[in-house]
Structure 1
């Protein structure tokens, strides 16, 4: 092909799978659909479909929900025709970076001012997990997070927590307060009897060490329950 002729091609003459890149350059990232952004990641489609069409199928498989897509495994992504292992890895890596970016933005604030700020910090870490995890946040006297520590992970029905280990670390860090956080993979925000009992055990143990339990949050994908907000502490 004559280079001069090829250089005069307008966007409408480009292959559909190549258009998102041009659209990003000319209009900015906010003008691209989710499928178009994903298409830039995978680069090209297959023999019968453009990259955008392939990515529409990927999103459709996740109910057009990026949070749901973020939970897909490599093998699940590869079930879509046109998505091989390398492309699946690229999509997983990109979504993980987005999740970490959200977490980093929350960490920059660092100071805990409300239950919402705890949710913003911890949802990217545990809100979408298929199993239950129990974490503790250690705070100084300015309510700034010194450390986030996962205490345990378990099945979907529950988890075991070592309170002695939790407070040993609190003393090592010189923490003056803690916030308890765990997720409910079921999506149910109602605290169980075990949740309430564990909260009281932490509260009583902390009182003897002059370390306050400021809150206990139950986190799901989109929302949370705060023991402090509900007057249960």
Structure 2
């Protein structure tokens, strides 16, 4: 009997090792909260599409979850064409509409012409999302990244904040002249520094401007500094 029990235990452990990773993958692929989050995201994307793209038809009632980029997605059909929307942070990602707005505002041209995109020095990213409750008003986010040289001393927090404020205000003043900004992030990486899990160590300050109000230098100098 003892041998039979040990055999059953061994089989059970083997099954657990084989099935366990699959269970974890399935749970992660559901997003958070599991099941409810998938259904709520699908509902939000269908609500948005009904107002903005009434000709689109949702391909199901269940939103998938992107394990790599994060956020939910849902497929639609438009006659013979396939479409897709994304969802995260209570707003919808509509890539086609975002690209159209980017072109209308000449965002890429403005960013490059004003020196807000210099490879290996500083990068400025602009994105537009939409709330299902207010699909006519874009929610604009700007993310600025810049770098310090490995041959330079690592700045203390006060100096780092001043540099982050300089870079942030430069980008903000340029882009705010073309559209309201509702969320602004500035990130600084000092070359040669690594995070606890390896990879690049970023210092980030994020400013929420829900009504498109004006961002000031003080927002960066006093905002929460997150390092990861």
Taking structure 2 as the reference length, the TM-score comes to 0.28
More helix by share: 1
TM-score normalised per structure 1 = 0.27
